[in-house]
């Protein structure tokens, strides 16, 4: 009986850690964002850089930030950013939007990409965290 209880507790711990590992992690997303920060900005004082501001990304149409000079490919991509479109795009931007100006190889690790999305979607259009 005692052994069965230990096994059940161990299985519950494994299941809980597997669920946490698959979850989006804003802290891990902040670390992943370091790959983006040289070209993109977020937060209340964000400005367009080599790439556009990433505030308010969730629900935004690609190519729509005022004051940023997007490629025609990006403006005409038809993408509205949500988790699925972001994950598809970020793993290989040039494959998803040929002729984009974005010169980034992508993030192939799905967990890292999901965490990056969690980090970015916390910022509203004004750069305030939701």
Encoding tokens for residue 88? 């598809």
Say whether 10 sits in a helix, a strand or coil.
helix
Say whether 129 sits in a helix, a strand or coil.
strand
Residue 115 has pLDDT above 50, yes or no: yes
The pLDDT mean for the chain works out to 87
CATH of 25-121 given 2.10.69.10, 1.10.10.10, 1.25.40.10, 1.10.760.10: 1.10.760.10
Percent of the chain predicted with pLDDT > 70: 82
Residue 2 has pLDDT above 70, yes or no: no
67-79 residues labelled b (16+ CB within 10 A) or e (exposed): eeebeebbeebeb
**CB of 123 within 8 A of CB of 55?**
yes
The pLDDT value recorded for residue 19 is 40
Residue 12 has pLDDT above 90, yes or no: no
Residue ranges of domains in the chain: 25-121
Residue 49 has pLDDT above 90, yes or no: yes
Of the pLDDT bands very low, low, confident and very high (cuts 50, 70, 90), residue 7 is: very low
Residue 48 CB coordination number (10 Å): 15
Looking at residues 11-25, what average pLDDT do you find? 47
């Amino acid at each position: 009986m005692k052994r069965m209880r230990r096994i059940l507790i161990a299985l519950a711990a494994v299941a809980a850690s597997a669920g946490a590992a698959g979850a989006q992690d804003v802290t891990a997303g902040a670390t992943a964002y370091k790959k983006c920060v040289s070209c993109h900005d977020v937060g209340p004082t964000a400005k367009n850089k080599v790439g556009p501001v990433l505030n308010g990304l969730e629900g935004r149409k690609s190519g729509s930030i005022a004051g940023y000079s997007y490629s025609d490919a990006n403006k005409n991509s038809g993408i509205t950013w949500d988790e699925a479109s972001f994950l598809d795009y970020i793993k290989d931007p040039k494959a998803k939007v040929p002729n984009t100006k974005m010169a980034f190889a992508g993030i192939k690790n799905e967990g890292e990409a999901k965490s990056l999305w969690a980090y970015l979607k916390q910022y509203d259009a004004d750069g305030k965290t939701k």
